[in-house]
């Protein structure tokens, strides 16, 4: 993981630092990247310095996007910055009829399976469901095994995140950005993330022919190989804000 001086050096040597700020698109996750992951997600708040950096970048860059698995109404309250594009539910589109039926069926069966798992709870979103288990004694593998039976033959996808299990319609953050990017006339892309649901974002951005940079916000809860496609890995939200501030300084002085 890089320290402040190294962050500056990596940024200045990157291809994205050579394009105009007005052609740069920045995409970032929220929890674990702009905000610390806390035991109760309802108590989460972005770091003030992260919000300050986003506020400046919204005026300096082509586009600033917060792409979160949070419900749209939550992310609107958590990032109240004019000019920042806010996308909730990982950018998943509204589910087709069969997908909605499958999601509703999963939610009902998961509620039954989790009745005896003290400390777990289900968060239902338009195109996905998050099962939280931070306050249980179960491991991620045990939760996947428990919930897997509820997905038998389903068109849904399931993945393990930071003390959560995500169940969603096919797609994800990478697909959402791939659908949006052609309309933005981007000259380069920088993305930030910290968890399994950011993997598709890293994979998509790292495959672009445009100048790009993937920034991983490391934690001990992240899968070991999650940041393999990242150009820069920093310690959680404290490191992510240092990169954001470096981009502010670069954009001001370009």
pTM of the full predicted structure? 0.93
Question: Can you give the pLDDT at residue 5?
Answer: 77
Above 90 in pLDDT, residue 1?
no
Question: Can you give the pLDDT at residue 160?
Answer: 95
Contact in structure between 202 and 15 (CB atoms under 8 Å): no
pLDDT (mean) for 229-247: 97
Contact in structure between 83 and 122 (CB atoms under 8 Å): no
- What is the CA 66 to chain-centroid distance, rounded? 8
Percent of the chain with pLDDT over 70: 98
Domains of the chain: 4-92+172-253 (3.40.50.1000), 97-168 (3.30.70.1020)
Among the listed residues 78, 165, 167, the one whose alpha carbon sits nearest the alpha carbon of residue 129 = 167
Strand partners, 64: 26
């Amino acid at each position: 993981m890089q320290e402040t001086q190294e962050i500056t050096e990596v940024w200045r040597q990157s291809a994205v630092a050579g394009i105009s700020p007005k052609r740069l698109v920045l995409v970032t996750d929220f929890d674990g990247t702009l905000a610390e992951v806390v035991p109760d997600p309802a108590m989460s708040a972005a770091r003030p310095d992260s919000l300050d950096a986003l506020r400046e970048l919204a005026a300096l860059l082509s586009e600033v996007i917060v792409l979160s698995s949070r419900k749209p109404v939550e992310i609107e309250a958590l990032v109240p910055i004019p000019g920042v594009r806010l996308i909730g539910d990982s950018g998943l589109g509204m589910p087709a009829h069969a997908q909605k039926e499958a999601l509703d069926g999963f939610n009902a069966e998961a509620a039954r399976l989790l009745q005896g798992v003290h400390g777990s709870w289900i968060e239902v979103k338009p195109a996905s469901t998050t099962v939280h288990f931070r306050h249980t004694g179960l491991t991620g593998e045990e939760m996947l095994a428990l919930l897997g039976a509820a997905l038998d033959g389903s068109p849904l996808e399931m993945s393990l995140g930071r003390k959560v299990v995500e169940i969603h319609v096919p797609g994800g953050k990478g697909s959402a950005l791939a659908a949006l990017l052609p309309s933005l006339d981007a000259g380069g892309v920088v993305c930030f993330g910290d968890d399994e649901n950011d993997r598709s974002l890293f994979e998509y951005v790292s495959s672009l022919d445009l100048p790009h940079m993937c920034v991983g916000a490391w934690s001990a809860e992240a899968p070991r190989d999650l940041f393999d496609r990242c150009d820069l890995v920093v310690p959680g939200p404290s490191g992510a804000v240092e990169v954001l501030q470096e981009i502010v300084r670069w954009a001001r002085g370009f």
